Structure 1
Amino acid sequence: MSTTSTSTRALPSVKVQTSAAFIAVVAAVALPQIFHVAGAALGFGPMIGQTLLPMHLPVLLVGLLAGPFAGLATGALAPIVSFLLTGMPMAAMVPFMVIELAVYGLVAGLLRGVRVPAAVPSPLSWLGKLLGAQVAGRVADVLAIAVAVSVLGNTTMTVASVWAAVVTGLPGLILQWILIPVIMTAVDRYAR
């Protein structure tokens, strides 16, 4: 069983990447709304989106499936489109989310093609790539916040708020660690 089949496949055509990015942006705008409505209906409140991180799923998936350009475009556009259509995320968070999600999508797309030894099971291979993208996105977020605080004097965001977001979003990270490798392993099997 080869786990490098994804890394040997060429990137999809520009048309497929563009279509994938469009679909992923739609999903990244719709999923948080669905989660907020479900959270309110189930009594969890509107904060369920910050806990389960539904906007991250389509961004990471499109990067892994369609490559760095689709991932970057989705990550950069999703928070802006969501804010324009729904008013969420809050205006002060939009630039930071654009940076974080764009890096998630870009790095996920770049890691998509990294060869992994055949001895590594496919789900672990995808988990490693996912973790790489998540770490890169959080580092970019911390750097953006540090610049905003030190250079621009922005006091609405702090580096401590990133840690609080990680802790709050831990259930969403766990969901991603389970769901994304399962989806990507299924794609690997289907692509054979």
Structure 2
Amino acid sequence: MQPQTTASARAYALPSVKFQSIATIIAVVAAVALPQVFHLAGAATGLGTMIGQTLLPMHLPVLLVGLLAGPFAGLATGALAPLASFALTGMPMAPMVPFMVIELASYGLFAGLLRGVRLPVAVPSPLGWLGKLLAAQVAGRLVDALAIAVAVAFLGNTQMTVASVWTAVGTGMPGLVLQWVLVPVVMAVVDRHRD
């Protein structure tokens, strides 16, 4: 006789390969399209193309797919999105592509790994997801800083510095706040529909 699975256990189980694959494709499309929408909006409103660096539109689908579909979907989306975006739009700039791949793949991987972590204390759904999101963001930034440090120290890359990671955090603070609001809300809605 098999034990019954609870809604909580089902929530932490990895979804089917089909779901992960479809989620990855949708997330890659969103991660390529959202920056273009933000750039167009920035140009139309006179805010310029810096709006993309400020609101971090490519990060949102990567983090969400990791939390929704798991580490494989998160990693694949994070790795494929900058490559697809560069191939289709020429953005991000070529020297940034490897670092974007590493950073976004890290975000997606860590978000996916954290999706199934049970918190040691009972917290309301949005706060639990916010904690997981923050952990994924910190881990992704640390991996990005490490990749840049390796590029500077061993590969002689003079276009990047480790300090640029922390500058990017400051520039992207509005985008981080947007993620802190939207991601937990989306995940809390998903949780309600799972129960």
Whether 1:110 and 2:116 are equivalent positions in the alignment is no
**Pairing of 1:59-70 with structure 2 (within 5 A):** 59-70=62-73
Which residue of structure 2 aligns with residue 97 of structure 1? 100
8 Å Cα contact 1:100-1:138 kept in structure 2: yes
Give the aligned length. Answer: 189
Q: Normalising to structure 2: TM-score of the pair?
A: 0.94
Which residue of structure 2 aligns with residue 45 of structure 1? 48
How many angstroms apart in 2 are the aligned matches of 1:123 and 1:133? 15
Whether 1:88 and 2:91 are equivalent positions in the alignment is yes
Structure 1 unmatched runs, 5+: none
| SS state at 1:60 partner | helix
Rg bigger for which structure? 2
8 Å Cα contact 2:12-2:115 kept in structure 1: no
8 Å Cα contact 2:103-2:143 kept in structure 1: yes
Which residue of structure 1 aligns with residue 4 of structure 2? none
Structure 2 unmatched runs, 5+: 1-6
CA RMSD across the alignment: 1.3
Whether 1:136 and 2:135 are equivalent positions in the alignment is no
Give the letter for the 1:100 counterpart.
E
Between the aligned residues of both structures, percent identity stands at 77
Deviation at 1:34?
A: 0.2
1:25 alignment partner, one of 24, 28, 41: 28
User: Any idea what the Cα deviations from partners look like across 1:82-128, whole Å, max 9, x if unmatched?
Assistant: 00100000101100010010010000000000012463111110000
How many angstroms apart in 2 are the aligned matches of 1:163 and 1:79? 20
Q: Normalising to structure 1: TM-score of the pair?
A: 0.95
1:15 alignment partner, one of 18, 33, 52: 18
How many angstroms apart in 2 are the aligned matches of 1:29 and 1:6? 33
